[in-house]
């Protein structure tokens, strides 16, 4: 949910006052923040034009008491700092990702979590829901990591204003969620959405499944049969599935669709660009891990990811999480990525300019503990830029830092 500068300042001020109150009430605050600077060549420029951009996020939780807490998360994605003059204004997108108030109540066989939220709340595709309710380590693909918040790449953005209720069962490792929220569609009509979600977490199997519908509240249709008829019903669905775990050979699957619709009684309308698919076998070879990702991603997702530059492709990520250099421990790895821009599995037969749309990238990366946080460094080589006579765009790099507060 993107707000104007005035609204953003008002929300920040509100949470500043909230944090002041919470501290005075001897409440507990915890948070995570991160910032990353990216340097690359501008691919849209005919001559070499360096870009320097910044991505940052902040996520925090205020615990007012054991069973009542508030969460906030926001992100910043800037334009190029050095396009004209580093001391001039830079176009930036400030986004409120989550504002929520959460109440927990305990029963004999389950725990109930009731949440009032604004923004994007525990979206399907990310593993935030699984981490919060099952206290597991992240299971999402390393390919889809992002510096614009906790969620990474998401299948469907459950964005809006609404209520969410989750039952976490105590006798079996599962959770049931029902959400109702209001947002807008591409025509700026209000849409009332309701979702149902089920998740489970066993030693060698983890799954998170969501489906829902959206009812547009604008432009009603009147007919002879009905006083008010709904012309279109939106629907969406998504799932994360992991066979195995982080300590075994495993298989990770993501699938989702959003902004599909039922029109009338018989027509189903959906766009190929809104299909999200990932199939990722994960192998453990002594001290080396290797993830092989086959993916078909919406363009809107690709724009926010640091390791993906095309909508259809394959990625091989080989890495080690325990490399000793002196008395320091590093995670060191390499993404090898090949694919096609502006292509999906549904339009492969259509002609394309292979030279312009083919991507072949090699990205080396490293992370290690530094002070109270974690330092990340990456260097990307865009090999196909050499064939396009853009040698200045071959290299890009980034450095980021995450820390708990």
Class of domain 5-404: mainly beta
Q: What is the pLDDT of residue 151?
A: 81
Which pTM was predicted?
Answer: 0.86
Q: What is the pLDDT of residue 87?
A: 65
165-176 burial string, b = 16+ CB within 10 Å, else e? ebbbeeeebbbe
State both tokens at 91.
Answer: 């176009």
Sign of CA dihedral 304, 308, 310, 315: negative
Cross-strand partners of 61: 30, 71
Q: What is the pLDDT of residue 12?
A: 46
Cβ-contact 343, 314 below 8 angstroms? no
Q: What is the pLDDT of residue 22?
A: 43
State both tokens at 333.
Answer: 């790895």
Cβ-contact 88, 80 below 8 angstroms? no
DSSP character at residue 202: -
In sequence order, the 6+-apart residues with CB closer than 8 A to the CB of 277 are: 254, 255, 256, 295, 296, 297, 345
Cβ-contact 212, 234 below 8 angstroms? no
| Residue 222 φ then ψ, to 5° | -105, 140
Question: CA-to-CA distance for 318 and 326, rounded, in angstroms?
Answer: 22
Q: What angle do CA 318, 322, 324 make, to 5 degrees?
A: 120
Question: CA-to-CA distance for 246 and 254, rounded, in angstroms?
Answer: 17
Q: Mind listing the pLDDT tens digit for each residue in 14-38? A: 444 444 444 444 458 889 999 999 9
In sequence order, the 6+-apart residues with CB closer than 8 A to the CB of 157 are: 120, 123, 258
- Taking 50 as the pLDDT cut, the residues of the chain under it are 1-26, 220-222, 226-228
Environment class of 146 (CB within 10 Å of its CB; exposed 0-12, middle 13-18, buried 19+): buried
State both tokens at 14.
Answer: 């509100």
Q: What is the pLDDT of residue 105?
A: 96
SS3 192: strand
Q: What is the pLDDT of residue 3?
A: 40
Domain ranges of the chain: 5-404
Integer distance in angstroms from the first to the last C-alpha of the chain? 25
Cβ-contact 308, 144 below 8 angstroms? yes
Q: Mind listing the pLDDT tens digit for each residue in 208-257? A: 999 999 988 865 444 555 444 566 788 999 999 999 999 999 999 999 99
Q: What is the pLDDT of residue 357?
A: 87
């Amino acid at each position: 949910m993107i707000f104007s500068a005035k609204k953003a300042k008002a929300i920040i001020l509100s949470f500043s006052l909230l944090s002041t109150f919470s501290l005075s009430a001897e409440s507990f605050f915890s948070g995570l923040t991160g910032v990353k600077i990216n340097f690359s060549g501008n691919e849209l420029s005919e001559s070499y034009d360096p870009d320097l951009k910044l991505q940052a996020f902040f996520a925090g939780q205020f615990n007012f008491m054991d069973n009542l807490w508030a969460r906030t998360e926001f992100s910043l994605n800037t334009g190029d700092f050095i396009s004209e003059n580093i001391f001039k204004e830079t176009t930036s997108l400030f986004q409120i990702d989550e504002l929520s108030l959460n109440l927990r109540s305990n029963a004999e066989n389950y725990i109930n979590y009731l949440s009032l939220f604004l923004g994007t709340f525990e979206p399907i595709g990310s593993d935030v829901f699984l981490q919060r309710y099952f206290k597991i380590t992240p299971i999402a693909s390393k390919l889809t990591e992002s510096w614009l918040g906790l969620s990474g790449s998401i299948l469907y953005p459950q964005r809006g204003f609404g209520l969410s209720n989750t039952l976490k069962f105590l006798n079996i490792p599962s959770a049931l969620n029902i959400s109702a929220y209001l947002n807008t569609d591409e025509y700026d009509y209000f849409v009332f959405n309701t979702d149902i979600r089920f998740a489970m977490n066993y030693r060698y199997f983890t799954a998170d499944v969501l489906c829902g519908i959206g009812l547009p509240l604008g432009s009603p249709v009147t007919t002879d049969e009905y006083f008010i008829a709904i012309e279109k019903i939106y629907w969406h669905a998504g799932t994360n599935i992991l066979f195995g775990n982080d300590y075994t050979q495993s298989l990770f699957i993501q699938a989702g669709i959003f902004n599909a619709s039922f029109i009338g009684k018989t027509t189903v309308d959906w766009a190929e660009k809104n299909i999200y698919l990932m199939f990722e076998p994960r192998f453990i070879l002594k001290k080396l891990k290797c993830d092989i990702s086959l993916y078909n991603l919406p363009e809107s997702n690709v724009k926010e990811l640091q390791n993906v530059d095309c909508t259809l492709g394959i990625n091989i990520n080989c890495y080690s999480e325990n490399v000793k250099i002196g008395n320091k421990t590093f995670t060191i790895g390499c993404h090898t990525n090949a694919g096609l821009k502006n292509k999906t599995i549904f339009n492969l037969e259509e002609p394309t300019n292979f030279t312009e749309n083919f991507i072949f990238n090699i990205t080396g990366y490293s992370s290690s503990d530094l002070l109270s946080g974690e330092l990340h460094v990456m260097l990307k080589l865009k090999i196909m830029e050499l064939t396009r006579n853009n040698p200045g765009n071959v290299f890009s790099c980034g450095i980021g830092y995450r820390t708990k507060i």
